[in-house]
Every structure is written in structure tokens, then in C-alpha cells.
Amino acid sequence: MSVIVLDRAPSLGPLLALGALRSPFKKPGADAAFPRTHLVLPGVRPDLEKLAAYERVCGFATGADGLPITYPHVLGFPLAMRLMSAREFPLPLLGLVHTSIEIERYTELPGDGTYDIAVHVEELRPHRRGTEATVVTGVRVGEDVVWESRSTYLARHRTRRSGEAARDEHGRPLPVVEEWRIAGDVGRRYGAASGDRNPIHLYPLTARLFGFPRAIAHGMWTVARCLAAHGVPTAADVRAEFRAPVLLPGTVEYAAEDGRFQLRGGDRVHVEGSVRPHVAL
């Protein structure tokens, strides 16, 4: 394992372009070598203007003392992109699908705080549809870990398991709480606030280049919007799985009960997850 300490956050635009250029030459597989590098960015202070824009587009209360539970993902995403766009990362960045996220928040993170962020690739594992990578992000204040996440990203390719039938892992439908009409510019607004300007989220034309009929919402926007509606305790464990893309514009149903939530469009589940108070071991 090597540790690289950065003096500034990488720029997402060039990383996306670099990852796209390298994608055709990647050879994905669960047994492929992957970078063991830990990237560390110390002394990160949230940009309060971008934070406010993020809160508005995701539905969080603006001006709250603490960061939204999903916001550290935004702070760590440039580091994750640097790892996933690297020559040594075996999965192609183009077409990589964010399939799930697990978050543990141990305490409130003040919006005006200073944080050290570290990101590394934990593992590759086989998936019925290809190969899945797990990317770990940690946030520290001094020596204390205050927030951690594990995201999985799927590269689709043929495998010996490709013919297996998908298992229906959805829980029972939850009662609908609200119906949301999602504007067509949500992808652009979220991209401006988060820095994630992947073309599949921006315009119908750029989304069609990647096989989507219209722009699709960022997965992290969908889970953030659900959590803003659901509410999250200060110390919390969040789990979410991204099942199907949300086309923009569109109408969806937010459903929730007993610490679980879903975002649905008709019979289709887009996002499914849970929120629990964190219990220290």
C-alpha cells in the first residue's frame, strides 16, 4: 500500500476525459490487479456557496449547522475519480454504474469545519453482470474518523454467470408519502453543485450518446433527496441500492416506513434503502 498526500482536490472534468480515453483499453475482471494507493487530501473546507446550492437541489434545509449526510461523498468524489480514471484501474470509467452506497456518520460535521479525506479501492469482486469495485471514503477530524462510506461501481461485461436470472431482492412496497415531479434541469443543477458533470445527467442529446432516451438523475441526488425527506439522526447508518435510473424530467413516488425508504416509478423501484441510528460497538 502507498499513500499519496494531495495539496488540492483533482479537477473532475479532465479526469472524466482521461478516464473516457482510457476506457477502451481496459480489461475488466474480478481477478485483475487494481491500485492499492490511498489518496489523502488534508485540510478540506467546504465551499459554503456550493454547499448551499447542494442543499437546495437535494431538498435539505439550507443554513443548517451540519453537513448533509451525503455531502462528504461530494468532497471525496474527486479523489475517487482520480483512482478510477488511472491507468492501473482495470474497469472502464465509461459505462461504470454506481450500484450502492453505505454510509456511517458518527457525529455531526459542521459546515464550517476542516476535514482530512482519504479514498482507496478496497476490492474487486465478481458480479452476475460483470465486475464490481468497492471504493472506500473516510473523513477525519484530527485522529477521529467522523464519517465513512463504501460505494460499489459495476462494470458490465460478459461473465460465466451472465445467463443467471436476476434475483428479486426488493422488499415489500412501502406506503407512498409524496409524489415528486422532477424537473429536467436537476442533473445540471446537481452537477453544478457537486462538480459531477457526467454527460448522461445533463442533456437528452448527450445522454442518448450513451444509450439513454433522456438525461438521467445522478444516483447520489436520488438518495440525497430521499434522505432529506426521511430525516437522519446525527449518528446514523445509511444503506441504499440504485436499482434503475430516473429519467429527466419525470414523476416518481417517495415511499417510507420504519426506517426504510424507496423511490418508485409505477412498479419500478429506482432506489431502495434504510436509515438506522448508529450504535457504537
pLDDT digits (tens, 9 = 90+) for 12-57: 999 999 999 999 999 888 899 999 999 999 999 999 999 999 999 9
Tell whether the model's pLDDT for residue 170 goes beyond 70. no
3 state DSSP class of 268:
strand
Q: CA geometry: angle at 170 spanning 256 and 231, to 5°?
A: 25
The answer on pLDDT for 233 being more than 70 is yes
Distances (CA, A) of 66 to 19, 55, 76, 112, 193: 33, 11, 17, 8, 17
pLDDT(167) > 60: no
Mean pLDDT value of segment 243-250: 95
Least trusted range by pLDDT, from 161-170, 185-194, 245-254: 161-170
Read off the pLDDT band of 211 (50, 70, 90). confident
Give percent above pLDDT 70 in the chain: 95
Q: Beta-carbon neighbour count of residue 123 at 10 Å? A: 13
Task: Name the pairing type of β-strands 130-141 and 144-156.
Answer: antiparallel
Q: Residue 170: which of 242, 223, 230 has the closest Cα?
A: 242
Strand partners, 186: none
| Helix (H) or strand (E) run with residue 97 in it | strand 97-105
Q: For 262-274, b where at least 16 C-beta lie within 10 A, e where not — what string?
A: bbbeeeebbbbbb
Comparing 207 with 151, which gets the higher pLDDT? 151
**Which set of grid coordinates corresponds to residue 117?**
479525506
> Residue 114 has which C-alpha cell?
476542516
pLDDT at 171: 65
Question: Above 80 in pLDDT, residue 165?
Answer: no
**CA 101 to mean position of chain CA atoms:** 6
| pLDDT value of residue 168 | 52
State how far the Cα of 246 lies from the Cα of 242, in Å rounded to an integer: 10
Cα 20 versus chain centre, distance: 19
Q: Say what angle helices 186-194 and 71-84 make with each other, to 10 degrees.
A: 80
d(CA 203, CA 13): 17
